[in-house]
A and B are shown apart, each in its own frame.
Chain A
Amino acid sequence: MSDASYLSLEKLTLAYGDSVAVANLDLTIKKGELIALLGPSGCGKTTTMRAIAGLLAVKSGHVRLDGADITRVPANKRAVGLMFQSYALFPHLSVYENVAFGLKLKGMRGPELDAKVQSGLKSVGLSNFANRRPAELSGGQQQRVALARSMVMEPKVLLLDEPLSNLDARLRLEMRTELQRVQKATGVTMIFVTHDQAEALALADRIVVMKSGKIEQIGSPEDIYNRPTSSFVADFVGFENIFPLENGKMKTGAGLVDLSGSLSSEAPSAAGLAWRPRMVTLGTGPFQGTVRGTSFAGDSREYLLDSPLGPIKAEVEASQPAHALGAGLSFDLPAEKAAPLSRFV
């Protein structure tokens, strides 16, 4: 075993009956890493997590953890923690008993147990709530109990399935910080599922983007945000203007169009190019468009243009003069700013 491949999924295939949900997935995670699993609904994120936890039987492939093949190890012997989106607290037990549940099953008793539970509760700031029932707690507090309940078990890996999606915006930020703090303090290897790219970018050491049961791209938040390798990932992280390339030209609604400027040296083999709305130059350039929609977003203003190339989304500083609906505008898609995509899907 090495710390570099603490948890590895090898050619993992998962299915419900005959319908394959995850196919041939390979993923290697370092010890102590915080991984975000990002992807659209139904792409197999929950399925993958359940297989790591042992709640779903593996159809083929292997799961290795800490040097051991755990593919066939039952869920209760894996030392993998899972925080459910619904928290799944035991309604008939107090907060204290919820946290003590797993420790008691390990055979822990008396002062040792008490000390462990108390420190678990303290670490999530719930020492004063030990005697409450889950139903008497707010959503954020329930979440903390669930976190403490998993963490006192000292799992080798902690999985979190959309841990923040049930919380309101303010609590979300608070819990985000909390998760990060707990992860840094304990060094636990963590994988969390999210729909929210901002959350993934803010928290993760590495992001895994999934699409229909396959990994589309793995990379640091910077990689994913700035250097998407496929049109799918580009679209997912907000590159809204995407064109395929053919013989060095953009394939558009107006046929093959010459690039404006030249590609950076690494990109000649690119299958497509992508621009964020902010990368589009408005007011000058070789292309012509008509303003079809505009929306004001505080610092910036967004325009939807109709152009022979197809619809274009552009974003400019709000301090610049506004363009009216129906106004004709020239614009540019500078090739040197574009993200080159190696796969167009």
Chain B
Amino acid sequence: MTARSLFIPVTLFLVIAFLIGPFLIIVAASFSAGETLAFPPQGFSLRWIAKVFTVESFRASFGMSLFLAIGGTAAALVLGIPASYALSRYKLPGAEIVRTVVSAPIIVPGIIVGLALLRYIVVPFQVGITPALFLAHTALVLPYAVRVVSASLDNLRSDIEEAAVLLGSSRLGAFFRVVMPNIRGGIMSAFILGFVTSFNQVPVSLFLSGPGVRTLPVDMIAYMEIVFDPSVAALSSLLAFLSIGIVFLAERFLGFSRYV
């Protein structure tokens, strides 16, 4: 083989190694028998994986993260589905501006979003930590919800709604009877994408977390500052496999990649 023909396979290998490598290291480290987070792992044990389930703060913050991911995504969909519908079905003046504004949280760094929320909403209006987090996660997921739901609405002909109306349905009835069932796949996909995005979100939550109320990733960072044992690696591995599992099932049953 010439150097030229080796170039592409070698680059490819390096890229994959770079992407997957850290993940494999973390997974390996979680099975370590040693007392500190280290690679290569010392021995093999499941003690750190077991320990994850006994740490009280992990349990609380996991609950909070789950609540934010499910509740925030659900709220984003409740707002995002009608918004997407209006954007795709009506030629609204300023629709492009709305689209851009709604997508802003994807482009603007989380740190800035977090700081802005803290400085201009949470502090001046005395919003509690949990409502603030809920609000922030809803706002963060909204662009994904609008995007994914819009994509599936654009693939749906609008004349079926008119057909439903002429068969006696009201406009609103037509939305629930013929639009919703046909964008179910898009909605589920938006939910999964929103869930994963919210669950893995760090910077915004970092700003808004407060005493006793944290999301799981923020809690993991806090934990690592005090204790440097492999339980964080174990928890990361568990979360990664959970995400992979969800996305795998979504792809399998919904054709997830069509919408994202």
Name A's B-contacting residues (CB within 8 A): 53-55, 75-78, 80-82, 84, 86, 88-92, 101-102, 105-106, 149, 153
Question: Is B170 at the interface (CB under 8 A from chain A)?
Answer: yes
Residues 157-204 of B contacting A (Cβ, < 8 Å):
157, 159-160, 162-170, 173, 177-178, 181-182
State whether B168 touches A102 (Cβ < 8 A).
yes
* Residue from the list B166, B168, B169, B182 in contact with A53, Cβ < 8 A: B166
| Residue from A55, A80, A86, A105 in contact with B157 in the complex, judged by beta carbons closer than 8 Å | A86
| A84 contacts B159, C-beta separation under 8 Å | yes
Given contacts A90-B178, A91-B182, contact A84 B163 (CB under 8 A): yes
* Known A91-B182, A92-B182: A80·B166 in contact at CB below 8 Å: yes
* Contacting residues, chain A, for B162 (C-beta < 8 A): 55, 75, 82, 84, 88
> Is the Cβ of A101 less than 8 Å from the Cβ of B167?
yes
Residues of A within 8 A of B173 (CB): 105
Cβ–Cβ < 8 Å partners of B160 in chain A: 88-91
Which residues of B have CB within 8 Å of A55? 162, 165-166
Distance to closest chain A CB from B199 (angstroms): 30
| Sampled A-B contacts (24; CB under 8 Å) | A55-B162, A55-B165, A75-B166, A76-B165, A76-B166, A76-B167, A76-B169, A76-B170, A78-B166, A88-B159, A88-B162, A89-B160, A90-B163, A90-B164, A90-B178, A91-B182, A92-B178, A101-B164, A101-B177, A105-B167, A105-B169, A105-B173, A149-B163, A149-B167
Residues of A contacting B177 in the complex (Cβ-Cβ under 8 angstroms): 101
- A105 to B178 alpha-carbon distance, docked (Å): 13
In the complex with contacts A55-B162, A84-B159, A88-B157, A76-B182 CB distance below 8 A = no
CB within 8 Å: A-B pair count: 57
**Bound Cα distance A91, B159 (Å):** 12
Q: Which of B160, B165, B168, B182 has the most CB of A within 10 A?
A: B168
Q: How far is the CB of B236 from chain A (nearest CB, A)?
A: 40
C-alpha spacing A77/B178, complex, angstroms: 18
- Cα A80 to Cα B160 in complex, Å, equals 16
Q: Are B181 and A92 interface neighbours, CB within 8 A?
A: yes
Nearest chain-A residue to B158 (Cβ)? A88
Other A-B pairs, 4, CB within 8 Å; known A75-B162, A75-B166? A76-B165, A76-B170, A80-B166, A105-B169
Say how far A93's CB is from chain B's closest CB, in angstroms. 8
- Determine the distance from Cα of A230 to Cα of B249 in the docked complex, in whole angstroms: 66
Q: How far is the CA of A106 from the CA of B157 in the complex (A)?
A: 25
**How many Å from the CB of B117 to the closest CB on chain A?**
39
B184 to chain A, nearest CB (A): 8
Report B137-157 CB contacts with A as 1/0, cut-off 8 Å: 000000000000000000001
- Give the residue name and chain of the B residue nearest to A77 (CB): B168
Per CB-CB distance, the 10 closest pairs between chain A and chain B, nearest first, are A102-B167, A88-B163, A105-B168, A88-B159, A92-B181, A88-B160, A75-B165, A76-B165, A84-B159, A76-B168
Give complex CA distance A194, B173 in Å.
32
* Contacting pair B159 A86 (CB below 8 A): yes
Tell me the smallest distance from the CB of B211 to a CB of chain A, in Å.
49
Which residues of the other chain, B, contact A105 by a CB distance below 8 angstroms? 167-169, 173
A99–B165 alpha-carbon span in the complex (Å)? 14
Q: Report chain B residues within 8 Å CB of A106.
A: 168
In the bound complex, how far is the Cα of B169 from the Cα of A78, in angstroms?
11
Residues of B within 8 A of A81 (CB): 166
Residues of B within 8 A of A92 (CB): 178, 181-182
CB distance from A22 to the nearest CB of B (A): 19
When chains A and B are docked, how far (Å) is the Cα of A118 from the Cα of B257? 40
Give complex CA distance A105, B170 in Å. Answer: 10
Closest to B168 in A: A105
| Complex Cα spacing A82 to B173, Å | 18
- Residues of chain B contacted by A90 (CB below 8 angstroms): 160, 163-164, 178, 182
A77 to B167 alpha-carbon distance, docked (Å) = 9
Residues of A within 8 A of B157 (CB): 86, 88
Question: CA A86 – CA B158 in complex, angstroms?
Answer: 11
Residues of A within 8 A of B163 (CB): 82, 84, 88-90, 149
Give the distance to chain A from B39, nearest Cβ to Cβ, in Å: 50
Residues of B within 8 A of A149 (CB): 163, 167
A89 CA / B160 CA spacing, docked (Å): 6
CB distance from B115 to the nearest CB of A (A): 44
